[in-house]
């Protein structure tokens, strides 16, 4: 079988694909309030410093630090109270030597003040006099202008996926809309003469389309826009027509092959003839997912996934997700979420091949235990029962029961 | 300051809140294709077995295992080829003793067949005869009826958040719409006389509203529907009016207090008077987030968060998210995503208090390193720079440089 003559390691296969990508992200302007999970197209530069004024971090008295030099419990510094700072407004007084002003957390320091003493470290016996019971350093309990962000500072680099914290940071700077990468359109084709749409009753010999929907959900979860082209017969003309249309209309095309070897060969031939350079990788040394096909056709990446639902979803995580991230211009990558766990049983693996094993996580006194779910890769509920995947690297011949593994959450 | 008389450990505070929740999830019917991230309202029961027919897992020949008894390289079993199984249809032939049929991966076994031999383990020298070069066991290379899912089996429990794998499983069973929990409405109020909307120019002394938007994004990310009630003055009548309206219209109300002690006292008084039983927790032994207030007012949980953006977001993760999950009826909980890392510096902490420290993750040869980002909790970009949070448990007085920590991803 020609497809298995030259199995590439997954990392090598992925770099070949990534090196052949030429598409660049496109910008689209959205309100910041709707931008959660989107990826910044350009860097965000602070239009002004944050905070833009000297701010107190405590409730207390704004003062001149020098006036408290040598002060202590037994020898308070006596300061004249000359006003109270209103929240959200400019203090209507300035401090001279020996003076202080009541201030609340978040309040603006009056002119002349360079520090704040906490209420707890003061006492008042007379209405217009404050006794400061300890020395205060310059800048104490104060946020400096620009301490959060300096004016002109690059606060969020291009290629950052926006989380709640970034949304808040943008709002703090008054950036209520911004340019993000347009969601890449990901065309999804299922092939297989035995496959029928999910809303169909199934006759003996038929199965419902699963891959179009697991892949749509995966694409959507990573910021792509899934475009389903339906189920195509395992027949070259029909496949070529659907795939050509998807290639013209989308930024990435994913084809799940029919499950037979001849259907897989058809997918390979199709991808190789759809545009230049065509097929780049045919067969990857990974289980599940050996018959994976990677190609680029006239600038559009085209990925042929195995037809088995478990294989298709696992392999899409390895190859489709990185392409979506590249098309989004994602540059600030964060670690993929995982959980440490102790393997419950021995897992054998073939040396040279990378294995991905679905596991269920169980609580134990020593933390999580990872229990492999053994099931053929045709069984979609194998994955529905799994919390994550354990990778057995290519240079390992297996993992022993009791060994510590990192479970990549699904 | 009355609020700090009795600081509860975070876990204890959370159980008090959760014990006082009475709301139950409500159902809403959605198409499965739009259900990613939603939580199942009822258990999903398989309407039929999966697969619904005996399926081959390989390309080869369907046969009767008994006919291959004792077969080997030097002594093949000779079988008569009587047909080919078409993909997606019922085989138009049955096997009798000594017969076999060509079958493709995913094809339906003909009557009489109980196993499949892989193409690689056969050879053909005559058109209608197949030589089987090894013995095959009953059931070999076959998926049994119901091996993925048995008819009537509970395939997805109520209270499960749907991932791509579950979406696929539902489609495989023809479940193209289902009941999920209605998204809980989470009312969000910001208070503070110094706070202005993000689209405003800021005058000295003013800051833009950050908390309404970080919290909206957090709520949205966890399956809630944020409803923003805007910025309310630090004044009892205005706050009571806005909070009462939010309490009537929402399933959960979150109020970020003004930053001064008096504004926080106002929030406590408000929550305690908004309905029965009122305030349940005032002050939690956690940093940041000491002045957290937890209450339930006439059946609606009301949470008072600190005004500082970092504190508000960290504390919302500890208290708001679990309430949203309870309102969604989430029962199948998955581990929160984390990454193991080595701490770069010593972190001191006060015994008895739980600390959450924002960290940046750096790649190193030994894996990730976690570098704390020291910044006052007023600085939102502290969190924007962070990959996650490290927890210093209450019974620790700190963590040493070089120790292994689990970084909870933001």
Tokens describing residue A60: 């207390």
Q: Which single residue is written with the structure tokens 């997805």?
A: B156
Tokens describing residue B128: 């209608």
Per-residue pLDDT averaged across B108-123, rounded? Answer: 97
Give me the pLDDT at residue A5, please. Answer: 57
Give me the pLDDT at residue B170, please. Answer: 97
CB-nearest partner of A108 from B55, B147, B204: B204
CB-nearest partner of B409 from A167, A201, A337: A337
Of residues B319, B299, B187, the one with CA closest to residue B250: B187
Nearest-angstrom CA–CA distance, A195 and A191: 7
Residue of A nearest to B161 (CA): A384
**pTM, full prediction:** 0.93
Fold type of domain B2-25+183-327: Molybdenum Cofactor Biosythetic Enzyme; Chain A (3.40.980)
Residues of chain A with Cβ-Cβ distance to B90 below 8 Å are 203-205
Q: How many residues does chain B have?
A: 410
Burial A201-215 (b: 16+ CB within 10 A, else e): ebeebbbbbbbbbbb
Fold type of domain A27-48+152-181: Molybdopterin biosynthesis moea protein, domain 2 (3.90.105)
Of residues B311, B303, B323, B320, the one with CA closest to residue B355: B311
Break chain B into its structural domains and give their ranges: 2-25+183-327, 27-49+154-181, 55-143, 338-409
- Please tell me if residue A94 touches chain B, with a CB cutoff of 8 Å: no
Per-residue pLDDT averaged across B175-191, rounded? Answer: 97
CB-nearest partner of B380 from A48, A165, A263: A165
Give me the pLDDT at residue B4, please. Answer: 53
For the cut 90, the answer to whether the pLDDT of residue B376 exceeds it is no
Architecture of domain B55-143 in this structure: Beta Complex (2.170)
Residues of chain A with Cβ-Cβ distance to B52 below 8 Å are 202, 204
The rounded radius of gyration (Å) of the Cα atoms in chain A is: 31
- Please tell me if residue B367 touches chain A, with a CB cutoff of 8 Å: no
The rounded radius of gyration (Å) of the Cα atoms in chain B is: 31
Give the end-to-end CA distance of chain A in Å, rounded to a whole number. Answer: 32
Tokens describing residue A345: 């049983």
Residue B160 sits at the vertex; the CA angle it makes with B156 and B166, to the nearest 5 degrees, is 55
Instruction: Kindly write down the DSSP assignment for every residue of A347-374, as one continuous string.
Output: EE--TT-EEEEEEEEEEETTEEEEEE--
Of residues A231, A226, A270, the one with CA closest to residue A250: A226
Separation in Å, CA of B14 to nearest CA in chain A:
21
The alpha-helical segments, DSSP class H, found in A150-210 are 164-172
CATH number belonging to the domain at A2-25+182-327, selected among 3.30.70.100, 3.40.190.10, 3.40.980.10, 3.10.20.90: 3.40.980.10
Handedness of CA B188, B193, B194, B199 (dihedral sign): positive
Of residues A109, A103, A87, A145, the one with CA closest to residue B194: A87
Nearest-angstrom CA–CA distance, A92 and A113: 13
ipTM: 0.92
CB-nearest partner of A206 from B88, B206, B221: B88
Q: What's the DSSP call for residue A314?
A: H
Sequence-ordered list of residues with C-beta below 8 angstroms from that of A383, at least 6 positions apart, any chain: A309, A310, A313, A358, A410, B165, B168, B169
pLDDT digit string (tens) for B322-357? 999 999 999 988 888 888 899 999 999 988 899 999
Tokens describing residue A172: 């703090």
Q: Give the C-alpha distances (Å, rounded to integers) separating A158 from A33, A181, A329.
A: 18, 10, 8
Give me the pLDDT at residue A2, please. Answer: 47
Per-residue pLDDT averaged across B14-27, rounded? Answer: 95
Q: Binning pLDDT at 50, 70 and 90, where does residue B2 land?
A: very low
Give me the pLDDT at residue A3, please. Answer: 45
Angle subtended by helix axes B261-273 and B236-249, to nearest 10: 50
- Please tell me if residue B374 touches chain A, with a CB cutoff of 8 Å: no
Nearest-angstrom CA–CA distance, A10 and A14: 6
Sequence-ordered list of residues with C-beta below 8 angstroms from that of B83, at least 6 positions apart, any chain: B91, B92, B93, B101, B102, B110
Separation in Å, CA of B49 to nearest CA in chain A:
11
Instruction: Kindly write down the DSSP assignment for every residue of A319-357, as one continuous string.
Output: IIHHHHHHHTT--S--PPPEEEEEESS-EE--TT-EEEE
Per-residue pLDDT averaged across B73-90, rounded? Answer: 96
Q: Block means of pLDDT (10 residues each) for chain A, length 410 residues?
A: 68 96 95 98 96 95 97 96 95 97 96 97 94 97 94 95 96 97 98 94 95 98 97 94 98 89 89 96 92 96 94 95 97 84 93 91 90 83 90 92 91
Going by their DSSP bridges, the two strands B354-364 and B367-372 should be labelled as antiparallel
Tokens describing residue A298: 């006239």
Tokens describing residue B141: 């290379």
Domain B338-409: give its CATH superfamily.
MoeA, C-terminal, domain IV (2.40.340.10)
Sequence-ordered list of residues with C-beta below 8 angstroms from that of B19, at least 6 positions apart, any chain: none
Q: Which residues pair with B79 in a beta bridge?
A: B130
Fold type of domain B27-49+154-181: Molybdopterin biosynthesis moea protein, domain 2 (3.90.105)
Query: Which of B335, B367, B390 is most worth mutating to test chain A (most A CB atoms within 10 A of its CB)?
Result: B335
Nearest-angstrom CA–CA distance, A374 and A359: 9
Give me the pLDDT at residue A380, please. Answer: 85
- Please tell me if residue A367 touches chain B, with a CB cutoff of 8 Å: no
Tokens describing residue B40: 């199942």
Nearest-angstrom CA–CA distance, A208 and A192: 10
A110, A113, A119, A122 alpha-carbon torsion, rounded to 10°:
-130
Q: Give A360-365 contacts, CB < 8 A, sequence gap 24+.
A: A360/A385, A360/A386, A360/A387, A361/A387, A361/A388, A361/A407, A361/B334, A361/B335
Residue A360 sits at the vertex; the CA angle it makes with A359 and A365, to the nearest 5 degrees, is 120
Give me the pLDDT at residue A4, please. Answer: 53
CB of A193 closer than 8 Å to CB of A259: no
């Amino acid at each position: 079988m020609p497809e298995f003559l030259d199995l590439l390691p997954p990392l090598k296969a992925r770099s070949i694909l990534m090196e052949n990508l030429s598409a660049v992200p496109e910008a689209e302007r959205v309100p910041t309030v709707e931008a959660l999970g989107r990826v910044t197209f350009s860097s965000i530069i602070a239009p002004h410093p944050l905070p833009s004024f000297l701010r107190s971090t405590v409730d207390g008295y704004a003062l001149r630090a020098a006036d408290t030099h040598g002060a202590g419990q037994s020898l308070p510094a006596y300061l004249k109270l000359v006003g109270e700072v209103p929240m959200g407004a400019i203090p209507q007084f300035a401090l001279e030597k020996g003076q202080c002003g009541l201030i609340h957390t978040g309040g603006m320091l009056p002119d002349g003040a360079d520090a704040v003493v906490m209420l707890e470290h003061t006492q008042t016996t007379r209405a217009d006099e404050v006794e400061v019971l300890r020395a205060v350093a310059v800048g104490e309990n104060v946020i400096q202008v620009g301490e959060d962000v300096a004016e002109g500072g690059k606060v969020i680099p291009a290629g950052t996926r926006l989380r709640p914290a970034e949304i808040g940071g943008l709002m703090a700077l008054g950036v209520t809309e911004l340019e993000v990468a347009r969601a890449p359109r990901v065309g999804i084709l299922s092939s297989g003469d035995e496959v029928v749409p999910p809303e169909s009753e199934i006759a003996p010999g038929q199965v419902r389309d699963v891959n179009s929907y697991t892949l749509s959900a995966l694409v959507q979860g990573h910021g792509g826009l899934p475009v389903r082209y339906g189920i195509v017969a395992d027949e070259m003309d029909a496949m070529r027509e659907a795939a050509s249309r998807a290639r013209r209309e989308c930024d990435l095309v994913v084809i799940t092959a029919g499950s037979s070897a001849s259907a897989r060969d058809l997918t390979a031939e199709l991808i190789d003839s759809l545009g230049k350079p065509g097929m780049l990788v045919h067969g990857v040394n990974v289980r599940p997912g050996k018959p994976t096909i990677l190609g680029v056709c006239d600038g559009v990446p085209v990925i042929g996934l195995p037809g088995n639902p478990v294989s298709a979803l696992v392999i899409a995580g390895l190859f489709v997700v990185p392409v979506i991230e590249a098309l989004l211009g994602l540059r600030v990558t964060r670690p993929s979420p995982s959980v440490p766990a102790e393997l419950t049983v021995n897992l054998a693996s073939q040396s040279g091949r990378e294995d991905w094993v679905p596991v269920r996580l169980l609580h134990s006194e020593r933390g999580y235990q990872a229990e492999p779910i053994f099931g053929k890769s045709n069984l979609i509920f194998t994955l529905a029962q799994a919390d994550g995947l354990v990778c057995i690297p290519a240079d390992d011949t297996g993992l022993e029961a009791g060994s510590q593994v990192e479970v990549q959450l699904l």
